[in-house]
Amino acid sequence: MTTRMGITLFLLGLLYVGFVAALIVLLRSWVLVVVVAAALLGAQYWFSDRIALYAMRGRVVQREEYPELYAVIDRLCALADMPAPVVAVSGMDMPNAFATGRNPDHAVVCVTTGLLRRLEPAELEGVLAHELSHVAHKDVAVITVASFLGVIAGLIVRFAFYSQLFGGGRRDQNTAAVFAAVMGVSAAVYAISFLLIRALSRYRELAADRAAAQLTGRPSALASALTKVSGDIARIPAKDLRTAQAFNAFYFTPALGREPGIARLFSTHPSLEQRLDQLGRISAELGEAAAPGGM
């Protein structure tokens, strides 16, 4: 897994180099575009926790409101030797959880009331350990930085389009050729980075599952939670799933009605089968007696 993640990051780095070279050759005002993209990236990085919490209707809760939830998070943070995050709860019935924040000192872990209602204590512990692993490994920062190239490419497509659209009489054959080249390179870079970032996200999810299983010592509890949550999400009305799918990259389990086929290449999460297979192997390594799906 570490090798695959390293290869993906290396390919992203190569893509950055090629893209910057293309900018220098094709676009005279690329500095302005990079500055704007950097500003957007900075805003996303610094305010990701507030944006995600607002978008998913979460609210910060106090210890006296959810003492059991706080107790599990405190215990896991003590085991992992990390600061406790801000704890939030979303009123959504869809069973799920997410973590966000630029580093462990500025992190939020949010669970839905649907998740709290459906899971047993050991299963909830596994889910929370998974989310805290994302915080400890600074996954939000990793994915945000990895997304930078795609953000730039998207901005350049828009910049080139509007420059051409409102260029008026200044357009000539050379301008049209540059416009076509910029659009082509930007579109290609965006498409490739889109796939690589999603591959990186899938590796991060598998890494978080592994870390959670090792932290709690109960891979079967996390496997049980995955199976239960995935099955319950599949029964949620399609219109509600479509609303939630915009935030799949944040979730413990993506809001999908069924396991994707070829669409798994575009998924932010590995398939349920992959995650359960990995947890089964970890269970064997740890010598855990309980089988995945059982307590």
Catalytic residues: 131
Strand duo 108-112 + 97-100: pairing: antiparallel
User: How far from 94 is each of 42, 114, 140, 256, CA to CA, in Å?
Assistant: 31, 5, 22, 11
Q: Is 134 annotated as a binding residue?
A: yes
Tell me which amino acid residue 184 is: G
CA dihedral 102, 103, 108, 109 (to 10 degrees): 120
CA distance 105 to 83: 6
DSSP 47-106: HHHHHHHHHTTEEE--TTTSHHHHHHHHHHHHHHT-PPPEEEEE--SS--EEEE-SSGGG
Q: How far is Cα 131 from Cα 275, in angstroms, rounded to an integer?
A: 15
**Tokens 């293309």 map to which residue?**
22
Q: Directed axis angle between helix 148-165 and helix 30-55, to 10°?
A: 120
* 96 neighbors 229 (Cβ within 8 angstroms): yes
106 is in an annotated binding site: no
269 is in an annotated binding site: no
- Numbered residues of the known binding site: 130, 134, 205
- Numbered residues of the known binding site for Zn(2+): 130, 134, 205
